[in-house]
Amino acid sequence: MTGEALWLALIPGAPLLLALLLAFPGREYAWRLAPFAALPGLSGALLLPIGVWAEYPAVLLGAELALDPIGRGLLLVTALLWGAAAVFAQGYLRGDAAVVRFHVFFLLAMAGNLGLILAGDAMVFYLFFALMSLSSVGLVVHERTREAWRAGWVYLGMAMVGEVALFSGLLLLVHGAGGHSLAELASEAPSNSLAAGLLIIGLGIKAGLLPLHMWLPLAHPAAPTPASAVLSGVMIKAGLLGWMRLLPLGEPTLWVGDVLLVLGLLGAWFGVVAGLFQSRPKTILAYSSISQMGLMIAGLGVAIQVPALAPALLAAVGLYAMHHALAKGALFLCVGIATRVRGPWILAYVGLPALALAGLPLTSGAVAKTALKAPMEAPVVDLTVVLWVLTLAAAGTTLLMVRLVVVMLRDRRPSRPLPLSMSMPWLVLVVSGVLLPWGWSPEVGLESLALPKLGSVVWPMVLGGVLGLAGWALWRWRAWGVPGWIPEGDLWVPLERGGAGLVKVFGDVPGRLQAAWESGVGRLGEGAQRFWRALLGWSLWGERWMGRWDVIGVMFMALVLGLFLVLALSV
């Protein structure tokens, strides 16, 4: 096995191995090594050459791992945020009785997230995507509260729908392309509308595409802060990356581009409006992520509609994803810091990443917004309406950040000492957010400082800030509360209530049918019933045994680790 092939395998393999280590008795303190699990990915993003590729013939008919320019940028910020969140968890979860269980799911989700970025073929992408999605359930329900269980069930249900849609779409593409590499599948996508539609659904659930976003505002507040940071910062980008790898970007497929553009713009605005009616910081940030993902999805839609703009827009969307990962990760860590820090200090902690997200000049937000809008201003096609919607959505982002600051400043709990393990990850993310886009794309950074570009970035931020402060002053003067017109989970709430109503109306139908069946079949029915009860007893015993978290965890890790070991030894 070559060194590069081993390095690629180690990027998802390191967190998998550490997760397995935590399953053995007497190894409880191994969770403190979790930050080191991200180091192979971080170093690989910095040191591995672009275009490195490895095939593992004995795995899944020839599994492939590769690193391309877009993957390199996402791998860098993904590994950085996972490492920062792991360090943050050292202080945030200190004293938590379930800290080992949390880190098992945390490390499995990390492995899936890092692995899908490197995936070069359909099966590897799907397996790592599923590993990340299903492991995240353990992060969402970690607190074991009623809110956490509700969020976990919603997340799991939508994740399963997404997995089925994604798997079906990939199967259709593999069948049509006659191969399983992602490059071959992307060339097949334009001629397979059903597969493209399934990919929009399957990946759209993870990306927070409207109206498939309903799990986000429920799962993010329920999960512990380190998990919320990676859920919103990098795991949500998996859907975006899947579209960039699998959808037709080299030739116009208008209906796909139209769907992503329209739903992206709607999501950008809906996230702002819904977020303004929330009263919890994590929920506000969740809706902010829906809005920010909408901007990126809209950019991807334009890239599909106008192939001439695709290369520039793909690079811009990748840069925007890097910016959002670092800024949003830092903001979620601020929510955890706010449990210990009060007053002006929390304003300083929240203010820096909030200004970056709003697009303050010299920050990553200004560079990312300039990069996203620049290709759309080219005289290739008239995108004036799209540019105006994106610009006003940027003003909405500032308005939402003002709302976040106001909500966080209301907390009057006494301050407590802030451990270095919680402050340093925030500092690393903020500094990286300032420096990384300039180092990654310095020409765009300089372009964002040109007077015309500077004005187009500043005025939406000023407008949003003025509206936000005016609204805050008015509400404070009139002592108004924020109306609960849009509850957490928005569209899910009426669906949930409608489902409960259907259960009340039709809930006894199975019981009545069973009674009719038993009265009509005599002894044959009685014998079948006894057999069914015996079978049900065995199944319930198996369900109880399989329902234990430790059993599920060990079986899941054994399966995944077995696949990884075969992959690592197959070259």
Q: What does the pLDDT look like over 294-325, one tens digit per residue?
A: 999 999 998 888 888 888 889 889 999 999 99
For residue 350, pLDDT beyond 70: yes
Q: What are phi and psi of 56, to 5 degrees?
A: -120, 90
How many whole angstroms separate alpha carbon 436 and alpha carbon 409?
29
Say which DSSP state 119 is in: B
Distance CA 379, CA 197 (A): 30
- Residue 503 burial (CB count, 10 A): 10
The predicted pLDDT at position 84 comes to 94
Calpha distance 398→405 (Å, rounded): 11
Whether 34 contacts 108, CB under 8 Å: no
Q: What is the pLDDT of residue 76?
A: 93
Percentage of the chain modeled with pLDDT above 90: 25
Compute CA 401 distance to the chain's CA centroid, rounded to the nearest angstrom.
20
Per DSSP, the three-state class of 261 is helix
Helix extents (H) in 28-145: 39-47, 69-92, 99-118, 122-140
Global pTM value:
0.83
pLDDT of residue 196: 85
Please give the Cα distance from 181 to 125 (Å, whole number).
10
Six token digits for residue 364: 């990553």
* Residue 343 CB-density burial (10 A; 0-12 exposed, 13-18 middle, 19+ buried): exposed
Segment 362-373 shows an average pLDDT of 83
CA angle 545, 551, 555 (to 5 degrees): 125
Q: How far is CA 378 from CA 306, 437, 454, in A?
A: 11, 22, 18
Q: Sorting pLDDT into bands at 50, 70 and 90, what band is 63?
A: confident
Per DSSP, the three-state class of 168 is helix
Q: Element (H or E) spanning 56, and its range?
A: strand 53-56
* Predicted confidence (pLDDT) per residue in 501-556, tens digit: 665 656 554 455 445 444 544 444 454 445 434 444 444 434 343 344 444 444 44
Identify the H or E element spanning 63.
strand 63-66
CB-CB contact of 15 with 112 (8 Å)? no
Separation of alpha carbons 19 and 6, rounded Å:
19
CA distances from 492 to 260, 282, 340, 395, 498 (A): 22, 18, 33, 27, 10
pLDDT tens-digit series, residues 522-536: 444 454 445 434 444
- Residue 99 phi/psi, 5-degree rounding, is -65, -35
Taking only the tens place, the pLDDT of each residue in 466-486 is 676 666 666 555 445 555 677
Task: Extract the runs of DSSP E, i.e. beta strands, from 251-376.
Answer: none
When pLDDT is cut at 50, 70 and 90, the band that residue 117 belongs to is: very high
Q: What is the pLDDT of residue 225?
A: 92
pLDDT of residue 525: 44
Q: What is the pLDDT of residue 311?
A: 86
> pLDDT (tens digit, 9 = 90+) per residue, 432-456?
888 877 777 666 656 656 555 666 6
Q: Is 403 left (phi over 0), alpha (psi -120 to 50) or beta?
A: alpha
Angle at 112 between CA 570 and CA 311, to 5 degrees: 95
Quick check: helix, strand or coil at residue 181? strand
